[in-house]
Structure 1
Amino acid sequence: MYRLNFPNTPLYHGDIANLTVEEALRLSGLAEGELDIFDGSPPCQGFSIAGKRQFHDARNQLFKEYVRLLRGLKPKAFIMENVAGMVKGKMKKIFAECLTELKASGYRVKAKLLDCSYFGVPQMRKRLIFIGIRRELGFEPSHPLPKGPVVSIMEAIDGADTSGVPELNDRYGLLYDQVPHGKSADYVIGTGYSSCVKPHPHKPSPTLPKTQTGRGFATIVHPYERRALSIGEAKRIGSFPDDFQLTGSYSEQWARIGNSVPPLFMRQIASHVANNLSQHVSERLAPN
């Protein structure tokens, strides 16, 4: 999918554990220490609130591969993203381990929960963002401030492609009619039924789940129309451009959006870090 959308960008396709620092530098055309920002999102399913948080999930250890590359590449700054569940319950142990490892790699580090909806994304989606600055650069990392305006789901999906939208079966169609805006099936049936989420039309969408099968029912539905959301609408809610190409079935394309970090959100974080780097490096180089 990355190659399909970014054909001119160097791409390593393989197990991250097998990617050497030397190969990463070769692909980027940079030398050690020249990279401005190293961005990565270690797999987060083991931390997710939506699933069962598993402290011993093998995927939780993949952040160590990120740290390995961080120490080898020695970028001026890094950004590391994970889900909000990482700072809850037993997962706090892994959060603390992450901070320790990142700081021990030679960086000043700060972590903060940010809501994508405050950064122009039409989706209420919280993400834990680690930002680090190489210690020798002499300044502290910071996170961007919220940047409006807040965009509602209806503003976002207006005019989006609605082709290939799965229909709701009769049972879910009736359920749809009874669920008010801002509620889900548990409002009608009882606690434990989290499907048929009907977004409030004048607010950002709830967090898009990674699962949306399109088989007669839907985890999240259209605010006004008795149907699931289309892939085109999901792309808008995830802040992907309309021409971004996705592959696979409806449920597979949906999962790619549901598992993603909204690009508009990450662009604002990366721009903030880049601007800070530029400002402080310029100050260091300025004549006295």
Structure 2
Amino acid sequence: MTGPRSATLPYLRRTTYPADLAHAAQEAHAPRAPDAPTCVSVFAGRGGSSTGYHMAGFRELLAVEWDAHAAATLRLNYPGLDVYHGDIAALSVSETLERTGLQPGELDLFDGSPPCQGFSMMGRRQLDDPRNQLFQEFVRLLAGLQPRTFVMENVAAMTRGKMKQVYGEAVAALRAATPGYRTVSGVLSAAAFGVPQARERLIVIGVREDLNLTPTLPVPTCQRPITVREALTGLPDTPDGMTINDVYLPVWTRCAPGQDFGDIHPKGHLFSNRKIHPDRPSPTIVKTVGVDRQGRANGGTYHWRWPRLMTIPEIKRLGSFPDDYQFATTGDPIHDFLNAWAGIGNSVPPLMTRAIARHIRQTILQH
């Protein structure tokens, strides 16, 4: 997993991004105000959205997640958080209310990112994919909890082609959930909210009808996108990491920063392998990364200077996870690497969620 060592060199371009991210991490663990807004997260993953809500000053009362590694990661970073590890379909409204200590209508924000593989442009987009129906569990809990607001995130591909039908059904179901919700939705870029990654997410925000408020989407907070080089300021710049195998190395050598391997392969093979460009925002970090039986990389996002995958500390920066964010370990370095990468690739970037949460707090909850 490691290549030959060289002297540790800092990334040289000065930026406030590392300091801003460190400050946001401190806010995530600061004591909550007595009147802090409350939230519940379902399909919580490894904590991207949860971290964003914590950064925005919310008090998260419950996180729901079926994956064991993800649940362990949530508990590792937020030991005081109540984590429901299990199938969301088995979680009743009454148990949710009991665990949060709330009555229907008292929760401020209900958040969820239903699994998006059925919607993703990377795979087969099938209307009958059962994962496309998991939003119905979100709607079931929404109707029972009756929160003041909700946020549902998904991949931007949900708004395209045949998946528009599923998207339309999902939004209609959200609006109809008793006692009724006004909604607004749109595709937002994480780069517009201080995340050094050109990642797009579909965001649906809902407000309970009786509040008589019209929801809006947050406006961009970042005037200029943050580049990879700026984001990695202060991290070691060395060849150490998951090195590229002998099949992929010649392609990496010929590939220019910012190019996909498929662009230069004579048959267009090896697509979705990319040499990252240091002076642009990162492309979307996808959850899947390839490692062969010898523990060498054969799929993912590669460093522009060194023939290796980006490291987990680097990917955390590009996903706006704090430097000290921990991922549960198994004792197998390769398995742990893949788990951490997938957790970041599957997440809504924390700084993006923070911007959404702040917007809802300022435009809805404070009224």
Q: TM-score range by the shorter chain?
A: over 0.9
SS in 2 for 1:171: coil
2:233 aligned partner: 158
- Structure 2 letter corresponding to 1:157: L
From 284, 297, 309, give the equivalent of 1:216.
Answer: 297
| 1:5 to partner: Cα distance | 1.1
- 8 Å CA contact 1:109, 1:133 repeated in 2: yes
Structure 1 stretch 209-218 or stretch 158-167: which is displaced more? 158-167
SS in 2 for 1:130: strand
1:206 aligned partner: 283
| 1:269 to partner: Cα distance | 0.4
2:211 aligned partner: 137
Instruction: Measure the CA separation in 2 of the matches of 1:50 and 1:121.
Output: 22
Does 2:143 match 1:74? no
Deviation readout 1:224-254 (Å, 9 max, x if unpaired): 2221101111111111011111135212221
Instruction: Measure the CA separation in 2 of the matches of 1:84 and 1:164.
Output: 34
Does 2:199 match 1:118? no
Runs of 4+ in 1 over 6 A off after TM superposition: 161-164
1:21 aligned partner: 93
From 235, 243, 254, give the equivalent of 1:167.
Answer: 243
Q: 1:232 to 1:93 in 2, by over 3 A?
A: same
- 8 Å CA contact 1:165, 1:229 repeated in 2: yes
From 177, 182, 185, give the equivalent of 2:258.
Answer: 182
Does 2:84 match 1:3? no
Does 2:352 match 1:277? no
Does 2:116 match 1:44? yes
SS in 1 for 2:151: strand
Instruction: Measure the CA separation in 1 of the matches of 2:253 and 2:240.
Output: 22
Instruction: Measure the CA separation in 2 of the matches of 1:195 and 1:95.
Output: 26
- 8 Å CA contact 1:38, 1:75 repeated in 2: yes
| 1:258 to partner: Cα distance | 0.9
- Structure 2 letter corresponding to 1:232: P
- 8 Å CA contact 2:278, 2:304 repeated in 1: yes
2:182 aligned partner: 108
| 1:136 to partner: Cα distance | 1.1
Structure of greater relative contact order (alpha carbons < 8 Å, 6+ residues apart): 2
Q: 1:59 to 1:134 in 2, by over 3 A?
A: same
From 315, 320, 325, give the equivalent of 1:239.
Answer: 320
Deviation readout 1:103-136 (Å, 9 max, x if unpaired): 1110001110001011101111110000000011
Instruction: Measure the CA separation in 2 of the matches of 1:219 and 1:269.
Output: 29
SS in 2 for 1:170: coil
Instruction: Measure the CA separation in 2 of the matches of 1:219 and 1:26.
Output: 43
- Structure 2 letter corresponding to 1:198: K
1:226 aligned partner: 307
Gaps of 5+ in 2: 1-72, 330-334
Q: Matched residue pairs, number?
A: 280
- 8 Å CA contact 1:181, 1:201 repeated in 2: yes
- Structure 2 letter corresponding to 1:118: A
| 1:192 to partner: Cα distance | 4.3
- Structure 1 letter corresponding to 2:254: Q
- 8 Å CA contact 1:195, 1:218 repeated in 2: yes
TM-score (structure 1 length as normaliser): 0.93
- Structure 2 letter corresponding to 1:116: A
1:286 aligned partner: none
- Structure 2 letter corresponding to 1:224: R
Instruction: Measure the CA separation in 2 of the matches of 1:29 and 1:176.
Output: 54
Instruction: Measure the CA separation in 2 of the matches of 1:138 and 1:192.
Output: 53
| 1:141 to partner: Cα distance | 0.6
Instruction: Measure the CA separation in 2 of the matches of 1:164 and 1:16.
Output: 40
- 8 Å CA contact 2:263, 2:271 repeated in 1: no
Instruction: Measure the CA separation in 2 of the matches of 1:195 and 1:130.
Output: 28
Q: 1:163 to 1:57 in 2, by over 3 A?
A: farther
1:32 aligned partner: 104
Q: 1:209 to 1:60 in 2, by over 3 A?
A: same
> Could you tell me the percent identity over the aligned residues?
46
2:41 aligned partner: none
| 1:218 to partner: Cα distance | 3.2
Does 2:127 match 1:55? yes
- 8 Å CA contact 2:239, 2:308 repeated in 1: no
Does 2:348 match 1:261? yes
- Structure 2 letter corresponding to 1:177: T
Deviation readout 1:177-201 (Å, 9 max, x if unpaired): 2111221112211434314301221
SS in 2 for 1:260: coil
Structure 1 stretch 160-169 or stretch 209-218: which is displaced more? 160-169
